[in-house]
Amino acid sequence: KDAIKGYLQSATLYVQQGNPMAASQAVENVFRLQPNDNDTVKAFFMLLQRMDLTQRGVQYINSLALDKDPEFKLILSEMFLEEGNFETARQLIQGSVRQCPMLYKPAMKVLDGLISRRDLDGSLELVEELFEISVRQRDESNLKVLLDSLLELDETNPRLLKTLTAVLIRMNDKEKLEGYLKRLVLVQLRANEVRDARESLNKLVVYGSSSFYLDLLNLINEATLDQSPEIMKKTVQKVIRALETGSLEKDQNERTAPLALGVSELDLGM
């Protein structure tokens, strides 16, 4: 350990003095002694980066299986992103963020890169890893900006709209939430996903500003109890039209119902 420490200090001093040959000799001695504790390997890797020997450093980290360590994952992913090696950084990060929350920041950069590459599936997989961590770190607003950009790739993706509405609920942004929930309900109804649409419509009742959302939910619930496919189909179409127009149309027989005996239009008006 003392020898490794001495060689590292020597190599660092030689680099500072502009003596690359002597620094390389000291570095080779470190490789020969094979340090394996995290702090020493981290210092060694940083030194190799300064000497433009990053690839040898990565190989050494991999040989010790330290590329699975969260701290080294963070160091390597940030280094690869800085170098423009996007795919390698993505491979390190994707699937690891839940276990290694410290990867959150480079993962957000990877998400931005996936969106710019129009990789919808890869983006959605990473979003599901990032969502809970963004809430814990109170970074929902930055995640929402990326989700809005992602939504431009596919405005009718229910999985994406669900995530976006969940973020807006956490942010208590009721104004924008209502619009996205309406879009989600419409997408689900058009896809005949009535059960999911009922769940989203229930959220619209809670967070929306219009009282007629409750009428729409009641219509869906009544049609579900009736268990008639034809009635459900007509009800779904009626709810879709109501959400598109912003009002619930009355049935034909209700609009043309005769006045009660002895009641005039003037009486009703008064």
* Residue 110, pLDDT above cutoff 50: yes
Cβ–Cβ under 8 Å, residues 167 and 140: yes
Average per-residue pLDDT for the chain: 86
Q: What is the pLDDT of residue 251?
A: 54
151-206 pLDDT, tens digit per residue, is 888 888 998 999 889 888 888 888 889 999 999 999 999 999 999 999 999 999 99
List of long-range contacts for 147-155, beta carbons under 8 Å, 24+ apart:
149/115, 150/115, 150/120, 150/123, 150/124, 153/115, 153/118, 153/120, 153/123, 154/120, 155/183
* Residue 258, pLDDT above cutoff 90: no
pLDDT band at 236 (very low <50, low <70, confident <90, very high): very high
Instruction: With CA atoms as reference, report the closest residue to 201 among 242, 262, 167.
Output: 242
Provide mean pLDDT across the span 91-111: 90
* Residue 250, pLDDT above cutoff 80: no
